[in-house]
Amino acid sequence: MTPFHRNQPVQLEDFRRLARKHLPRMVFDFIDGAAEDERTLRANREAFSKVTFEARRLVDVSQRTLTTEVCGQQLDLPVLLAPTGLARLAGRDGERAAARAASSHGTVSVVSTASSISLEDVANSTATPQWFQVYPWGDREVTLSLIHRAKNAGYHALVITVDVPVTGARERDLYNGMTVPPRVDARTVLDVIRHPRWLAYLATSPRITFANLVDLFPHLGRGASTLAKTSESLLNPGHVWADLTWMRAAWDGPILLKGITTAADALRAADVGCDGVIVSNHGGRQLDCLPSSLELLPEIVHAVGDRVAVLIDGGFRRGSDIVKALALGARACLIGRPWLFGLAADGQRGVEGVLTHLRTEMDRTLALVGCPQAGELSEQFVRFPPEWIRDSHLAGRSKEPGSSGFDK
């Protein structure tokens, strides 16, 4: 047995603790925080306590498997790394480290448009095809350029984030000066000086910026603040379902919509030809006071059935959390903050450590609930509040006037 060291992470919360230690407060809170009163952030975690297991006994669980298939891609672990912006703020190699760590566990990362390493460099860092995330920006040519670059780089799936018509109010960032441009004062300078490891990393690494935007806007230079303003100006509050037609035409692989929080929208996504939906409240970082992703999951799964793959993110910190979501019908789960905490704690090894912990906990949970294969999980293995599936004719919602097709 490997000897245990006191500083060795025992659970994912330990990676968060190490990240808090290694990062300046403004950077840690940028990762850890959420919008306004952070009610949705807390709701995501609290929801898991409302689901309990129905364990089966005298089942042969001597051989267990976590494999799953999502949108035509076989995964050894039903956990994907969610898209996050400027990952190099957390640690060296940023999104490249995430892709390599995911590949080492037989899964994938979803590379953000706002990544700090270009989508081409991430794709070239691993033989496993990754997924790419885009926003439906107001400038169609810019969006199409990113889609074509992802296609040429060999990305497998396109994830369209649809829950950011405008940016949410993350008040921790405002207090800490994590703004555009950053507010530098005596407190922030002192905070950075108190984290010499992070400061030394920053001083010896290439300038952190929005790598995918540098080539799109060469006249703006490489400054993160200028590119961040440009990115925010591209947000499109006028984006509607009809705009998916040209995005679908530009991408011949799987398309998933991220940010779905209602059964009606999940049905509509199926109607317009999407291959999957990601049940997500953006980790509470945009609209506060949304329900937890987990409590939205059963109704959405019951509504769309097998028409599209249903994935979920929001608050996963235990392998048992993931087993609960799979039992409620999710094909796979995405984690965002945890892999960034791992990156801050120990680079690529830290991200691999996060995935190792989740794999170990999931495997153990499958054995203890009496289900040898993750793909065989169902509602029979859990108890959850009945109000999570509302009494409504969900299948009829997508047939209401103006609710299907590309009419608006």
Active-site residues, by number, are 282
Closest of 297, 269, 322, 270 to residue 389, by C-alpha: 297
Q: Are 83 and 333 in contact (CB under 8 A)?
A: no
- DSSP code per residue over 333-370: EEESHHHHHHHHHHHHHHHHHHHHHHHHHHHHHHHHHT
Token pair, residue 3, equals 């000897």
Q: Is the preceding peptide bond at 218 cis, omega within 30 degrees of 0? A: no
Phi, psi at 53, each rounded to 5°: -90, 150
User: How far apart are alpha carbons 291 and 229 in whole angstroms?
Assistant: 30
Burial of 145-167, coded b for 16+ CB within 10 Å and e otherwise, reads ebbebbeebebbbbbbbbbbeee
User: CA 233, 234, 239: angle at the middle one, nearest 5?
Assistant: 125
- DSSP code per residue over 143-212: HHHHHHHHHHTT--EEEEE-S-SS----HHHHHHT-SSS----HHHHHHHHT-HHHHHHHHTSPPP--HH
Token pair, residue 51, equals 């689901």
User: How far apart are alpha carbons 325 and 322 in whole angstroms?
Assistant: 5
Q: Are 369 and 61 in contact (CB under 8 A)?
A: no
User: How far apart are alpha carbons 87 and 344 in whole angstroms?
Assistant: 9
User: How far apart are alpha carbons 361 and 384 in whole angstroms?
Assistant: 21
